[in-house]
Amino acid sequence: GNFAINDNWNGPVVDFIKYAAMVGKFTINVTRPPEWLYPESKWFYGSNIFDYCVYATSLGYLDFCIGAYTITSKRAAFADFFETTDNGLYLITFVDSGGTSWDVFRKEFLTVFQPFEWKVWMLIMFFFIPALSILMLTHEYGAPGSAYPRTVPVLVQEDGINGQRRVRERPVPIIKHIVESIYVGILAFFHNTFSQGVVTVGGKIHLLAIASFVMMVYSVYTANLAAILTQDIQRASPNSVKGVINAGYRVCAERKVSEIITKLYSIDREIFIPDPVDQGGDGLPGFNCPECAARTRIFDFMKQDNKNSDLYCD
């Protein structure tokens, strides 16, 4: 069977067959299986062209196929195989090079924000802190000795040469107090200390609530950050298929390789990324697209720091 483009066949397997023909003194007619046989092969085996050649050979339309085959139970049931070369199973993972590129800097810098999702950060910064700050303002507003007086004394000089200077009370715009209270609330959140004095009973009780909220957020933040910083150490790089399975990685593999690993290790096929339908695949685990290079697609769908485990593998 021949599936080479423009009959440009070369490689160790082809050289071996040519040498065998020379030693055995027989000729080789390299040809494709019958085109009309492909629909039946697709129904029986699937869309893989390697199985197409096996199907034609099992029915006697070809004498033998040449290729880097993986011997599956279904193939072995209908055709005989003999080994010409040894193709090992390679486990390929990402390695942290430890460089100083911008991506590495950005990743390390953003680590401090990873303990909470961005929705949680938005909720804290734009709801809880402003709400707690404004509630403090409602307790302290206009109280004697508080940081939020209704009026402030202003020295005013009257018109004229001998104008007298008098102290008058001027109202403080409420928007000024709101902005200041929110600023103090944000400062208290990051500094873990409320910098303003509190004089009312309601304000002191509310201050206790603010301190409890900050303590809770800090505790959760510290625990999550510690887990993030130590997870790379705890999660050692896998060096075997069992290590990949135990670590819960998502795997990119050809369809036949995924079937072999599934049977050898008795695992769920769902650990393998499905062949994307929008790119010519059938949506089943393992790459088997008839119009693409399945082995190249394995590398195309590997993604470091994978966030979409339904589409990309680790």
- pLDDT tens-digit map of 75-96: 888 888 777 666 566 667 666 5
pLDDT tier at 1, thresholds 50, 70, 90: very low
* Residue 242, CA distances (Å) to 24, 31, 61, 116, 132 in order: 44, 41, 41, 32, 51
Q: Which of 223, 213, 248, 246 is nearest to 132 (CA)?
A: 213
% of the chain beyond a pLDDT of 90: 15
pLDDT tens digits, one per residue of 276-306: 887 777 788 888 776 666 667 777 777 766 6
% of the chain beyond a pLDDT of 70: 79
Contact 34, 60 (CB under 8 A): no
Q: Which of 158, 156, 154, 196 is nearest to 177 (CA)?
A: 196
Contact 286, 258 (CB under 8 A): yes
Q: Is the pLDDT of residue 126 over 90?
A: yes
Amino acid at 92: I
Place of tokens 């403090």: 136
Mean pLDDT of the chain: 79
pLDDT tens digits, one per residue of 138-160: 999 988 888 898 888 887 777 65
Token couple for 234: 């705890």
Place of tokens 């003194």: 25
pTM score, two decimals? 0.48
Give the integer Cα–Cα distance in Å for 124 and 163: 53
In this prediction, residues 223-243 reach a mean pLDDT of: 74
**Phi and psi (nearest 5°) for 160?**
110, 165
In this prediction, residues 90-107 reach a mean pLDDT of: 66
Better-scored residue on pLDDT, 96 or 247? 247
pLDDT tier at 230, thresholds 50, 70, 90: confident
pLDDT tens digits, one per residue of 176-197: 999 999 999 999 888 888 888 8
pLDDT tier at 309, thresholds 50, 70, 90: low
Provide the strand spans (E) within the chain.
Answer: 151-157, 165-171
Provide the strand spans (E) within 91-209.
Answer: 151-157, 165-171
Give the integer Cα–Cα distance in Å for 185 and 147: 13
98-136 burial, b at 16+ Cβ within 10 Å, e below that, comes to eeeeeeeeeeeeeeeeebbeeeeeeeeeeeebeebbebb
Q: Who's near 67: CB < 8 A, 6+ residues apart?
A: 1, 3, 13, 50, 53
